[in-house]
Amino acid sequence: MRRRGFLKKIPIAASAPFVLNGIPVGVLAKGQLQQVAASSTNDKVLVLIQLHGGNDGLNAVIPIDQYANYYNIRPNIAIPDDGTRGYIPLDSTLDLADQVGLHPDMIGTKTLYDQGKAAIVQGVSYENHNGSHFRSRDIMFMGGDYDDYYGSGWMGRYLDYCFPNYPEAYPTAEMPDPLGLELGTTVSLGFHQENGIPVAVAANNPEEFFDLINSTGGLPPDSVIDTHYGQELQWIMDIEANSNTYADRLKEVFDKGTNAPGVTYPETYPLSAGRLTNPLTPQLQLIARMLSGGIKTKIFLARIGGFDTHGGQVEEYDPTLGNHAALLYHISAAVEAFQNDLQAQGLEDRVVTCTLSEFGRRAASNASYGTDHGNAAPMFLFGKGVKPGIIGTNPDLNNLQNNNVPMQIDYRQVFTTILQDWMGASDEAIAHTLFEEWLDKKLDLFSNLITSTNDDFLANRFKLHSAYPNPVRDRTTFSYYINTAVEVRMDLYDSSGRLIRNLIQGKQRIGEHQVNLDLSDLKPGTYVYKINAGPLNAAKKLIKI
């Protein structure tokens, strides 16, 4: 029996015989995984969020420069360009061809971007995309071309290269935790080893696992172990034993950890349409708590489903509402809370979060207020270590490929960059992962946390200019630039720090702002004017003569 056929007959996963805080937890574990974590030269963590079903990138990241074309090809689901539920302009400092609007429910993503903690990679896919959910997921996890059929995943190959002679005697005092944890119950190919045997399988409940073992008569005889089937079964039982061991340890880490006081994770979509309960919140909340508790796990895989939006993607009466809107809110709001949690606990230097989906949707909508399977879609990266901005540009909606958004960036460029520039993989390890051809095609995704470029990013997008004239006799002009619509307050203080006057108060639009004020009644002296506008908190000196 072939491995895939054998595994399909297993209704549960040996890797997850326990539930932690109500979430099924699968241990991506065999010896080499713990060895990687124990021997890692850094404490970097990767959180992957898999968007099951194929995310509609065009309604998440809207091409502002081609809005008319965008509207014409999907008039029944297009996000409006104005009004209280219009798209959110992301960054007006970019070239027009790169400027995008976010779905109005992606406020959390916009907030993180304005803090210098988010990046968007446009048009991610692979050549000759076939539009199959299962095949595309396998391709993106195995790390191959459309016509490759590897029995291993890109992370599995990388780990096999780094630690080919891993010890079996784990966990140890030095490394009590598994390298990877899958949250949920779905099998992923990404961690399969070179021999084709996965390092994790999903589980629904432990009783079915024991039923499976009992149905085979318990431990397989030596004659069976020597067969491929026997090796598979022996592996499952080994992982079962490992998982039982890790269950106690993970519970210990969970009890020791905490979520930051004052950080509120979103539980529901605030509007009365679409999938109301946030399925990502408990997963990210759990990850943050375990990191707080000292877990040494390197990779977490969380999932959120519902993106296969052939019909009912939006509400007929309002294209900004519906299932897709709720899903985008769930991701943006949960990741923002997760990032705030990490920041409050001093953990944000260690963690990068990345979304992935098997494909995007067709550019044109269908008559069912939905979209069909497509090709390329954006990926989102979040974290203090991320270099903020947009990689790639808006798709040319006048040159679609069979109604598909064309690929700009191969998914392996993203993963190669993450492996090397974030996780610290060597060139040799990348070659063994079969990503060697992508080494000279890496993306500019990460900042140096010591000499961070994020300060320059913010300074170019949120600016308090010097008043003119200064010194001032009677009237002067205060000016500033903000990259998001936000509440703005500017106050004037004397040299002792006493508030003299409120100069500006109210919600302001994106862009450059100027206000000319009469200060002739002020006494001569030195003053300070301060502005608070979202991420902009700045002060400058003013001389009154």
Sequential DSSP letters for 176-245:
-S-SEEEESS---STTB-TTS-BS----S-HHHHHHHHHHTTSSPPHHHHTSHHHHHHHHHHHHHHHHHH
- Write out pLDDT tens, residues 414-425: 999 999 999 888
Distance CA 239, CA 330 (A): 33
pLDDT of residue 361: 97
pTM of the full predicted structure? 0.84
pLDDT of residue 113: 96
pLDDT at 251: 82
Positions of the chain with pLDDT lower than 70, given as ranges:
1-18, 26-41, 159-160, 162-175, 179, 184-188, 190-246, 448-453
Q: Say how far apart CA 310 and CA 479 lie, in whole Å.
A: 48
Q: 98: helix, coil or strand?
A: helix
Using DSSP's 3-state secondary structure scheme, residue 234 falls into helix
| Rg of the chain in Å (alpha carbons) | 26
Q: How many CB atoms lie within 10 A of CB 9?
A: 8
pLDDT in tens, 272-290: 777 789 999 999 999 999 9
pLDDT of 221: 54
DSSP-derived pairing of the beta strands 118-125 and 409-410: parallel
User: What pLDDT shows up at residue 275?
Assistant: 78
DSSP label of 295: -
Domains of the chain: 3-455 (no CATH), 462-544 (2.60.40.2550)
pLDDT the model gives residue 214: 40
